[in-house]
Amino acid sequence: MGFIPVRLTLEVEGESLAKASRVNYSKIVTVEHNVKVFFIGHIRPEDYQNVSDAVNRCWEDKIFQRKKQHPRG
């Protein structure tokens, strides 16, 4: 899939994720302060850097793609 797998520690009893679950790093969205979310766990600390690297790479690719499509004249 292009990125190193990231492990999640589930903290809510009865919740699960399929082994094939994926995160779409190329679709970065802002979560507003008034949106209800349901936390089921957290990314393992030893995998934080993998997530950060993946998000940064996707963000840079998106910016580069935008500049390529709309060159400044």
- pLDDT, one tens digit per residue, over 25-72 is 767 778 788 988 888 999 999 999 999 998 898 888 777 776 666 666
Tokens standing for 64? 């580069």
Amino acid at 8: L
**In contact, 7 and 43? CB cutoff 8 Å:** yes
> How far apart are alpha carbons 68 and 59 in whole angstroms?
14
Please report the pLDDT score of residue 68 as a whole number: 64
- Average pLDDT over every residue of 8-23: 89
- Average pLDDT over every residue of 10-36: 84
> How far apart are alpha carbons 40 and 53 in whole angstroms?
23
* Residue with the larger pLDDT of the pair 22 and 70: 22
- Average pLDDT over every residue of 5-15: 91
